[in-house]
A and B are shown apart, each in its own frame.
Chain A
Amino acid sequence: MAAPDTDPTRSDRTVLDARDISRALTRISHELLERNKGATDLVLLGLHTRGVPLARRIADKIAAVEGAPVAVGELDVTMYRDDLRSQPTRRAHKTALPAGGIDKKVVVLVDDVLFSGRTIRAALDALADLGRPSAVRLAVLVDRGHRELPIRADHVGKNLPSALAERVSVRLAEVDGTDEVTIS
């Protein structure tokens, strides 16, 4: 188990705490609303695993501002990965689209960490099989660099320059019981 933050022997460093995460998501929510001129036709799709709770949180924040619920769904890209064959069989997760579908909607993909960009590439392929959005945007909590594909995020919680060997971990209350982003 990870030791508390004050423990000098702990090798990882907290980059974002619960309040930072909340603030970043609030800002992303407002950016999305501003860019989209409101919440109409907006669909938030969380990428498994931790993008799903993030998408829900952003949706809650947008709903609080706009006073109306915003469509949220979850997207699993396992079957679309380009490294399926080089790894042991991965477990697939559920893909659940909101009732209105994604055709002619502005889809915002939500993920925790943007790294190589390969997950997002897979997500774009998955979207093409599910419908035809009018636009696709990308919101991530952390952008740690080291892209391997020409992909960038439209909304970033925090840019986190990191060395390739470093490990960025996002923990969220819904999945891990606590909210923090650490680097080690």
Chain B
Amino acid sequence: MKHLLSIDDLSTDEIAQLFETAADMHDVQSREVKKLPALRGRTVVNMFFEDSTRTRSSFEIAGKWLSADVINVSAKGSSTSKGESLRDTVLTVCAMGVDGLVIRHPASGAALQVSEWVDASVVNAGDGMHEHPTQALLDAYTLQRHLGSLEGRHVAIIGDLTHSRVFRSNVQCLTKLGARVTVVAPPTLMPSGIGPWSAAAGFETSYDVDAVLPEADAVMMLRVQRERMSGAFFPSPREYTVGYGLTRNRLALLKPDVPICHPGPMNRGLEIAADAADAAQSVVLEQVSSGLAIRMAVLYHLLAGEEA
């Protein structure tokens, strides 16, 4: 593995390997000395051209716990705000001898484009509405810890599908692992052209949350991404909650102990009620600690070996 740009690049074997490594990394979090020397002398740059708390800090801690030197570059306060192009910014940073580049960018395909310009290993930490592979890996890893094998298990992904890179990566990852996936959204937030894709990739679509919830083995709520919305996709937040939010009433539709995921940040009261977010079966915080383990595993696999 040289880059991690899309879930599509990973074989099921590679995913299983990453999960195994992540399980080993998970133990490090409970140790007193949270440090492994595997990436000593390697440099990882986090380039975030979009706001982020958990992904950026997660990659930063993951790199540091593996003893890599981690530097953060964000669009605000960098030369990008002076009008430098992405290519120039990336080449400038890489000219300083960088081994790994973790990039988040509002443009779909940015990570792939960057990987063609540089020698460093590139990790896609979210490119526009395209993909967010480490999020999908950590979601599947978290669910596996709860459900065992995902083969034949039914995962419902509910919310703003149109603007969601998390959904696009997750559908690929979960179907690769043999899960049955149903995606649910209001018609206005169902991506156009999803019909042929779902038929080819083997997942289902639905507009009816209440019909899907009772048969789900896991529920993944997606954030309503108002910063990406240019038009009116639903009449009012209240209306969205009534139609598609995981409310207290809908919580009762779920089978007992069905894990509830949310990639964060949550809009409490919009797509997920506090009752659901704080329920005993909510795995939202566990996703964060899994995320750290997964990102350590990804950085280790990309950067520790000879070909990095």
Contact = CB atoms under 8 A, between A and B. Distances in A.
Given A84-B305, A129-B31, A130-B31, A91 B37 contact: no
A94 interface: yes
A8 interface: no
A86 B308 CA distance: 10
A66 interface: no
Interface in A76-117: 76, 78-80, 84-96
Interface stretch (B19-27, B147-155, B188-196, B272-280): B19-27
Interface residues of B, number: 23
B75 to A, nearest CB: 32
B227 interface: no
Q: Which one of A79, A80, A91, A131 has the greatest number of beta carbons of chain B within 10 Å?
A: A79
Given A79-B38, A129-B35, A87 B20 contact: no
Contacts of B37: 79-80, 125
A103 B142 CA distance: 32
Contacts of A94: 23-24, 27
B33 A92 contact: no
B158 to A, nearest CB: 35
B24 A89 contact: no
Contacts of A130: 31, 33
Contact of A87 (B21, B36, B300, B306): B306
Contacts of A129: 31, 33, 35-36
Interface residues of A, number: 21
Nearest to B27: A95
A84 B21 contact: no
Contact of B21 (A85, A88, A92, A125): A92
B296 to A, nearest CB: 10
Nearest to B303: A89
Contacts of A93: 24
Contacts of A84: 38, 304-305
A85 B308 CA distance: 8
A89 B66 CA distance: 14
Contacts of B21: 91-92
A87, A89, A90, A91: most-surrounded residue (chain B CB, <10 A): A89
Contacts of B176: none
Interface string B34-49: 0111100000000000
Interface string B207-221: 000000000000000
Nearest to A89: B305
A86 B306 CA distance: 5
Given A94-B27, A95-B24, A129-B31, A85 B305 contact: yes
Given A125-B37, A130-B33, A85 B306 contact: yes
B116 interface: no
Contacts of A79: 36-38, 66, 300, 304
B27 A88 contact: no
Contacts of B305: 84-85, 87-90
A84 B299 CA distance: 14
A55 B231 CA distance: 65
A129 B37 CA distance: 10
A93 B66 CA distance: 15
A128 B37 CA distance: 12
A117 B102 CA distance: 36
B227 to A, nearest CB: 37
Interface of A: 76, 78-80, 84-96, 125, 129-131
5 contacts: A80-B38, A84-B305, A87-B305, A129-B33, A131-B32
Given A85-B308, A92-B20, A131-B32, 13 more contacts: A78-B38, A79-B37, A84-B38, A88-B307, A89-B301, A91-B17, A91-B20, A92-B21, A92-B25, A93-B24, A96-B27, A129-B31, A129-B33
